[in-house]
A and B are shown apart, each in its own frame.
Chain A
Amino acid sequence: MSDRISIRHALKKYGNNVIIPDLSLEIREGEFFTLLGPSGCGKTTLLRMIAGFNSIEGGEFYFNDTLINDLDPAKRNIGMVFQNYAIFPHMTVRKNVEFGLQNRKLPKDKVKEQTEKFMKLMHVDEYADRLPERLSGGQQQRVALARALCIEPDVLLFDEPLSNLDAKLRVEMRTVIKNIQHSVGITTVYVTHDQEEAMAVSDRIAVMNAGVIQHVGTPKNIYQRPANLFVSTFIGRSNVMKARLDVQDGRCELVTASGYRAQMNNVQEKYRTAQDVVMSVRPEELLLSRDADAPGISATVDDCVFLGLMTHYFVHLESGEEAEIIQESSIDSIIEPGTKIRLTINTDKVNLFTADGSANILTGVQNDCAGA
């Protein structure tokens, strides 16, 4: 069985210090849902409220239709994987994995069978009788996962499970976690501050900042049509520049600080008025031309970094603003620092926000966040 998780008007504070002011969220049955945000944004706090390790100062938490606010953590039937694995160091791998089952008074052979099954699934059965201190970080994390899955929980919770692993193992383990989650289909809440990791594993992501959910959507959606400026700069890299929106005869034009104009066909109805805007354009959405007379924003190359597949250019514009551009490396030559160039903008992909950065004024934003 897998649960739908509903959080309504959650409030968390330590003393007078409000961590989460008012948060509502729906996590669908069986989905892989990630809480993503900078450290201190309250994502782990929220996860621990779901788990029952943090008190809830206000609001309601439901698993399906059951209110769990005051339910003992031991009775919530959750499988939790911790940042530091939290493997019991004085028990063998087998004892660790079967620990949860033994709290349920199952018959002995059933416990043994279930333990074997999940140790095999996570490929830790060959270490069954070892103590955890003799396992590598990756193996310990597999044991932690086997232990969490073994009780066939209704909800799986991950608290930054990969942050203690080295880069290569991190990529390997996130694939393992994603595949296992898909095969067992348990509702999963995953906390991370690593946006690439979040994109790699999640069905949907909630981007959090300062205890407030900024955007809930698919990885593709939050990358391409971020709901506000924070999401746009937190997910991936963005060049942020001041610009204006000009409206003439219902046609919208983007005017950059240097006077370059580009037509925008996807501005939302309600924002079609002349106003100051903030333009967020990703490094790969700026197109670079060596022809200094071509139309576009004129700029000068400051530095370039060759990274194999891609080459990064760091430039400054006439207006003094700086920007980063990523281009596929070409075989002929790299543009030398000091070269004058022209930039044009991929208007299908660029994002425009209100002057205060609080909302995306283009169409196509999908934000499941209940408050938005």
Chain B
Amino acid sequence: MKTKKVDEWIVVSLLLLALFVVFLLFPMVGLLKQSVFNSDGQFSLDNFKRFFTYTNGYYLKPLANSVKVTIVTTLVSLLLGVPIAYFYSFYRIRGAKLLFVVAILCSMSAPFIGAYSWILLLGRSGAITKFLSALLGVKMPAIYGFKGILLVQSLKFFPLVFIYMNGAFKNIDNTLMEAAANMGCTGVRRLVKIVLSLSMPTILAAALMVFMQAFADFGTPMLIGEGYQTFPVMIYNAYLGEGGADRNFAAALAVVAVVITAIVFAIQKWGTNRFKFSMNALHPVEKKEAKGIFGFLMHAYCYLLVGIAFMPQLYIIYLSFCNYKGSIRQGGYGFGNYVQASKKLLSRSIKNTAVMGIIALVVIVILAVLIAYLVVRRASALNNAIDTISMLPYIMPGAVVGLALLLAFGKKPLALTGTFAIMVISFVIRRLPYTIRSATATLMQISPSIEEAAISLGASKAKTFVRITVPMMANGILSGAILSWVAIVTELSSSIILYSNKSITLTMSTYLAILRGNDGIAAAFAAILTVVTAVSLLLYLKVSKSEDVRL
């Protein structure tokens, strides 16, 4: 009776699938294949055997290091972030808005700038170290290694917890708090049994986010880790090859990394499902005034924490205006560093970052909108498959993405190594899952009847999509896009494998300047990068008009 017409959208689905097969599945399969061949081109599991059995756990050590520092970082971030979110949501804090904005700035800054700045402050010849030893004769303990990574990452990631938890706390209905109090449950007991229990799914989500980002972080351990080698650093080193590059072994390491993040992801999914329930506060909690000593301590905690987290960025901007000769600081201030930087590919880096970033952003937005629409409005097995595939990069550390692309597109027919294209592809792959999530969430809040209204008024499907659906998603997409932009601008871990002198980005230039030990120029680059991220984020906050930062 009913003949179902072929939907125009099926074409879009197939096109998207083709894109994913070429640019995502093909490199990943390639990586997997590479890992199970030895350097003579024969199938073998030697690479994995080597990894697990090499003398004295030479390769297992960095893995253990990574897991250890990441778990501790995650715990510390939760311990720092949950209280500040709690104070922020339940009490009136003077200058709360400023605190929130600054916290976001800290979390979104380029990962290694914090590490670099802390070295300049607390390192062997750091400003604070010198000051203390000159004044008091106190010798500061070394900041390098485990402690340094923990310090830098915790201060960078606690704001993520803050942002996540603030969203969860805001959804707790005040009547639940009152009902608990009514039944005699108040104070700390209520905090644990009601507030934190209700927020459990979010706590898990925040923990996963911190774990994934900390585990994949390349820049921080590279700079401040010194002898304390972590997994992403090892992948990079294996790829560069201390004794000649061994790509097969590097590929095997990358596979191990993906397996680990996949397991963590699965555990988090399982945990979230166990605690799953939906909340929507009709009566948001009213913020209380904190009195007396408690109020003072609360303010001190919030300001001190955010202040310390923000200090490295301010310090690097300050340093960028100090006069340097080589890497030796001279007296006085000026723009000398910027003049020097402009001779070191500054303008090319900025131009490249802008061009590649914007192209990647446009591609990401188009793909994310299409995929969100297909998943939310035209659910089918094919579209769900596309959705699942598009989420794969979520569990792939940047170094793995970089390596996979390099292996896949290093030779014909698609020789893209060193081009803009491969950089753009890596940006898109890295950020797409996040933007799809935010586009999907936005679309789910839009009632389908609005699109039906347009169709019943005679608008075609295409016109409805362009004139009704997309504009209504615009705000959500735009805010998601700005966050993606920030992430792209500060991307290091995949770029370091894929960049060339021609396609160098601002972040890469900054990183290289730091490696060269030229502190003045490095500070200038880092300052520019910091200001670009800060301006983008302020724009984001203006556009999104809400505190619900969706990362």
Contacts and interface: CB of A to CB of B under 8 A. Distances in A.
A74 B458 contact: yes
Contacts of B459: 74, 99-100, 103
Given A99-B459, A103-B459, A103-B463, A88 B2 contact: no
Contacts of A157: 456
Contacts of B453: 80, 82, 86-88, 144, 147
Interface string A139-165: 000001001100100000101000000
Interface string A102-121: 01100000000000000000
B2 A57 contact: yes
A90 B447 contact: no
A76 B452 CA distance: 13
Interface stretch (A48-56, A266-274, A298-306): A48-56
A73 interface: yes
Interface string B420-460: 00000000000000000000000000010110111111111
A77 B459 CA distance: 11
Contacts of A84: 447, 449
Contacts of A79: 456-457
A99 B449 contact: no
A82 B2 contact: no
A99 B4 CA distance: 28
Contact of A69 (B2, B447, B452, B468): B2
B456 A58 contact: no
A22 to B, nearest CB: 13
A81 to B, nearest CB: 9
Nearest to A55: B2
Interface range on chain A (Cβ under 8 Å from partner): 35 or more
Nearest to B464: A74
B452 A51 contact: yes
B471 A75 contact: no
A151 B458 contact: yes
A108 to B, nearest CB: 17
Contacts of A104: 458
A29 to B, nearest CB: 20
B195 interface: no
B273 interface: no
Residue in B450, B456, B474 whose Cβ sees the most chain A Cβ within 10 Å:
B456
B3 interface: yes
A89 interface: yes
A110 to B, nearest CB: 15
Residue in A69, A79, A90, A157 whose Cβ sees the most chain B Cβ within 10 Å:
A90
Interface residues of B, number: 23
Contacts of B461: 74
Contacts of A77: 458
B58 to A, nearest CB: 57
Contacts of B454: 88, 99
B471 A90 contact: yes
Nearest to A77: B458
Contacts of A87: 450, 453
A140 to B, nearest CB: 12
B520 to A, nearest CB: 49
Interface in B442-501: 447, 449-450, 452-461, 463, 468, 471-472, 474
Nearest to B1: A58
Residue in A86, A104, A148, A157 whose Cβ sees the most chain B Cβ within 10 Å:
A86
Contacts of A74: 455-461
B5 interface: yes
B424 to A, nearest CB: 30
Nearest to A51: B456
Contacts of A103: 457-460, 463
B464 to A, nearest CB: 8
A70 B5 contact: yes
A86 B449 contact: yes
Nearest to B470: A90
A74 B456 CA distance: 5
B2 A73 contact: no
Nearest to B474: A90
Contacts of B450: 86-89
Interface string B2-21: 11110000000000000000
Given A86-B447, A86-B450, A89-B472, A70 B460 contact: no
A229 interface: no
Interface string A337-372: 000000000000000000000000000000000000
A83 interface: yes
A100 B1 contact: no
Contacts of B463: 103
A53 B454 CA distance: 12
A78 interface: yes
A85 B456 CA distance: 13
A76 B2 CA distance: 17
Contact of B457 (A56, A70, A100): A100
Contacts of A159: 449
B112 to A, nearest CB: 41
A55 B5 CA distance: 11
B460 A55 contact: no
A53 B449 CA distance: 10
Nearest to A69: B2
B458 A100 contact: yes
Residue in A53, A55, A57, A79 whose Cβ sees the most chain B Cβ within 10 Å:
A53
Contacts of B4: 55
B470 to A, nearest CB: 10
Interface in B1-47: 1-5
A90 B456 CA distance: 18
Contacts of A99: 454, 457, 459
B5 A73 contact: no
Contacts of B472: 88-90
B64 to A, nearest CB: 50
B447 A75 contact: no
A86 B447 CA distance: 8
A80 to B, nearest CB: 4
A99 B457 CA distance: 7
A74 B5 CA distance: 15
Contacts of A73: 452, 455-456
Given A82-B449, A88-B450, A90-B472, A58 B457 contact: no
A148 B4 CA distance: 28
A57 B1 contact: yes
Contact of B458 (A69, A70, A75): A75
A53 B452 CA distance: 7
Nearest to A76: B456
B3 A80 contact: no
B2 A86 contact: no
Contacts of A88: 450, 453-454, 468, 472
A53 B455 CA distance: 9
Residue in B4, B447, B449, B457 whose Cβ sees the most chain A Cβ within 10 Å:
B457
Contacts of A86: 447, 449-450, 452-453
16 contacts: A51-B452, A58-B1, A70-B3, A70-B5, A74-B461, A75-B458, A76-B456, A79-B456, A80-B453, A82-B453, A84-B447, A86-B449, A87-B450, A88-B454, A99-B457, A100-B458
Interface of A: 51-53, 55-59, 69-70, 73-80, 82-84, 86-90, 99-100, 103-104, 144, 147-148, 151, 157, 159
Given A87-B453, A88-B450, 11 more contacts: A58-B2, A69-B2, A73-B452, A74-B456, A74-B459, A74-B460, A79-B457, A86-B449, A86-B453, A88-B468, A151-B457
Interface pairs A-B: 3 shortest CB-CB: A100-B457, A103-B458, A86-B453
